[in-house]
Chain A
Amino acid sequence: MKKIAIQLIPIWTALGILLLWWIASLAIRVDLILPSPSETFVSLASLLTEGEFWTALGHTLIRASLAFTVSFAVALLCALGRANAVCRRVSDCFFAFLRSVPTMSVILLLLIFLKPSGAPQAVAAIVICPTLYSAFSAAADLVEPQLMEVCRLYRVKKKDVFFRFWLPSVASGLFEGAASGFSLNLKLVISAEAIAHTVKSFGNLMQNAQIWLQTDRLIALTLTAVLLGALGEWCIRLIGRSVVRWKSR
C-alpha cells in the first residue's frame, strides 16, 4: 500500500500544481496574465492540429539532437583524455572557463558570428558540454583502479580494456549525465531560437505567442517543452537501465 502511495506521488504533485494554478488564475482573473488550466489545455489541443507546430517541433528537435550529439562526443573524448595528466589539466581549465561564461553572452555573441538557423545548436552545444564533461569525468574517476591493475597484469589488449571494461564501467554515469543534460539542452536550444527569431522553431513560436499576448498558447508550448524534456530523460534512463543490466539491484 505504501509502495503504491509512493509511486503515485508524481501524479499527486502534478495535480497539486494544477490546483494551485487554477486557484491563482481565479484570483488574478485576467486571462492575458494567467489563463486557467482548462483554457491552456484547449490551446494545447489546438496547437496539436497545426502543421506549423509540428514543423517547428521537428526542426527544434533536430537542432537539439545535433547539439547534444556534438556535446556528448566532445565531452566523452575529453573525459577519455583525462588518462593523460596534461590533457586532464587542459580540459579542466577549459571547461571551467566555459562553465563560467554567462549563457546570455554565449547566445548574443554567437548571434553575431552565426546565422539564426545555426546559432541555437551552437549555443546549446557550448553550454551543455561542460555539464556533460563533469558528469563523464566523475564516472571515469570512479573506474576501479584495482581492476585496471588486473588488466595490466594479465596483459589484456587495450581495445578490450576500453570496450569491455572501461566503457561499461562508465556507462551508468554516462547515461545519467546524458539524461540530465538532455532537457537542459532542449531548453537552451529553445531559448536561443526565441532570441534569434529562428525560422521554423519552437522558440520562435513561443516568441510570437508572447508578442501577440497569447499567454494560453505560450504556456501550452512551455508545457510541451517540459513534457518533451521529461520524456527524453526518461527514455535515456530506460535505455541506460537496459544496457547496464549487470548492476546489482
Chain B
Amino acid sequence: MAGYNKKAEPAHAKAESHSHAEHLREKHLMLDPLPRGQMNSMVMESMYETSWKFWVVFAILSVIVAYGLFYSWGVMIAEGLGVAGVNRPSYWGIFLVNTVFWIGISHAGTFISAILRVFKAEFRRPFTRAAELMTTFGLVQAGFSVFMHMGRVWLAYWLMPYANQRMLWPNLHSPLTWDLLAITTYLLSSTMYLFLPLIPDLAMARDRSTGWRKTFYKTLALGFRGTEGEWAHLRNAMNIFAFAIIPVMFSVHTIVSWDFAAATRPGWNSSIFGPYFVIGALHSGMGAVIMVLAVVRGTMKHMKYFIRAEHFDGIAKLMLIISMAWAYFFFNDYMVQWYGGDKWTHQLLHFHEAGPMGWMWFAMLIFNIAVPWAVLWNQKWRSTPWIVFIVGFFINVGMWFERYIIIPISLSINRMPFTWRLYEPGIEIPLGIGTLAFFILLYMGASKLIPLIPVWEVEEGQMAHELKQFGRETVVSVSELE
C-alpha cells in the first residue's frame, strides 16, 4: 500500500534520521496518518468490494452449516444422544469440549478490547472490533454446543431464572446455573461492548451509503451525530464497560472450570482450574485472533494499510507470554496432582500419557508450548502473517486437545474401574465442524456488513502519536488524550 504512505519529510533533514523516521512511519499505522475521508472510503470499499471467491467460500460454508449443524442436530434431537459418542463413564464429550473451546475463543476479543484499552496499549486500535466480533460469534457457537449437549434441549428454558409452571426456580447450587448466568451476562455485555464503539462508524457508513445499506446503517446508527453530549455518554459508557467486562470475562471461564473442578472426580477436583482455564482461553483466543487478522489482511481490500506487521508482532508477543503462563499453570496442576499420591489420580495421569490417547497429550504439549516458544521469540518470524497464522492454528488445535483430554479422556477413568471405557465421537464430528463453519460464516457476513476497522479510534490514535527527537534519536511518543 505504498500509495497511501505520506512522504513529506523536508529535504534538508539528515539522510540517516530521515530514513529512520520514514521507517518508523511505515512500521506504525499510528504514525502514518491518512485523511479521515480517505480512511472512511477505504473501509467502505473493503465492505463493498467482494470477489467471487468470497461467495464460493460462503456457499460451501452454508452447505456445511446446513448439513453439519442444522440437519445433524435435527437428527440428534429426533433420535436422542445415542447418535453421539457419549457413554458411561464419559457422559460429557465433544459438545462440552467445543463449548469450552468457543468460550475460550471469545475471551480474546474482550482481552484485546478491554484489557488493552484499559492499559492504553495503542497497537490494539485497528483490530479491537475484529477481535470483539470473535467474542460475540464465539459465544454463539458456545451456546449452540452447550444446547446440543443437553438431553432434552427443547426444555432448555427451564434453566432460566424464573418460576416455571410448578413454581420451581433453578437450582442456584449448581455450577451449571452459574454458568448460564455468567455466559448470558458475558454474551449480552460483550455484544453491547461491540455495539457501543460501533455507533460512530455506523454513522460514518450511513453518511456514505445508499439503498438497503443506507437503511441498515441508518437504523443501527440510531441517529448518532457526534455531538459533545453523545460522545461524552459514549466515552463514559465505554470506560465503564472496559473495566467492568474484565472481571466478567474472568468469571465466565472460571465458572466453566468449576463445572469440572467442583466435581468429585480424580483429575478434575483441582483448585487451580480457574486461572488455568482463563489462561487456556486466552491462549486459544489470541491464536484465533491472529489467524483471523492474517486472513482479513490477506483477503480484504485496503487492510494492509490498517493491519501491519507491528500488530502481528504485538499479538504474538502476548501469545508467547500467555503460552509461558499456560505452561506454568499446566505444570502446577500436574505437579500437585502427581504429588498428591491419590491412586485414582495416578491412574488418570498415567492414562493421559501412556493410554490409547497418549499421542494427544504429547501433541498438546508440543502445540501449546514447543511450537510458540520455538517460533515467537524471533521478531521477524512473529511479524510475518503466514507464520503466526500457522502458530495460531497449532495453538488452537493444541488447546482443543487440552479440553478433549480434560473432558472425555479424564472421564474414562473414575473410581469404579468396572465402568472404565474410552469415548469414541459420533455425530459430534459433523456438529463440531458445523459450529466452526457457522463461526466463519457469521464472521464473513459481518465483515461485509459492519465496518471492521474502528475508523474513529484509528484517527484518534493517529492524532495522539507523533515522532519526537531526543538528541539524535527519533522516537515514537504518544499523548494521553483522555
Q: Do A and B bind each other?
A: no
